[in-house]
Amino acid sequence: MNADAAHVWREMRALMLEKHDTRRAVADATGMSFLRAKLLTKLLAGDRTVTELAEILASDAPYVSLNVRELEKRELVVRTEDPDDRRRRIIGLTDAGRRLAEKARTIADAPPPEFTTVSADDLAHLRRILQLP
């Protein structure tokens, strides 16, 4: 194992999961689990089926469906019939769901304070590194 790589990875994990816990911040600000907030943010790009959401979230469809039902009860999402296939239901955001999803995305996308000291060159280099397959 490459000791330098392990050290950098440990520091990145600590920054993301301990020092700058966006999951907790999103959950606290939205009053729901991070997964449900993430589900809402995935709908900002457009309406989707439960199967599509499950694939995007790397989860299983029954679990996503359960969470969609809870979001539906809170009037944050609506299910509509797919006009091309009446057996399918399309999940979309309500206005309240869109506002909450945008709030969650804003919180999740805010970089940690430590990033304010990183030079533009280093940020560009990090961006290139993170685009590795």
pLDDT, position 92: 98
Asked if residue 48 is part of any domain, the answer here is: yes
Bridge partners, 90 (sequence order): 80
Structure tokens at 35: 């997964």
Q: What is the pLDDT of residues 5-58, one digit of tens each?
A: 888 888 888 877 777 788 899 999 999 999 999 999 999 999 999 999 999 999
| Per-residue pLDDT reduced to its tens digit, 57-109 | 999 999 999 999 999 999 999 999 988 888 899 999 999 999 999 999 999 99
- What is the count of structural domains for the chain? 1
Domain at 43, CATH number: 1.10.10.10
Residue 38 lies in a domain: yes
Distance, CA of 20 to CA of 33 (rounded, Å): 17
Q: What is the pTM of this model?
A: 0.81
Rounded Cα–Cα distance for residues 20 and 31 (Å) = 19
Please check whether residue 69 lies inside any domain of the structure.
yes
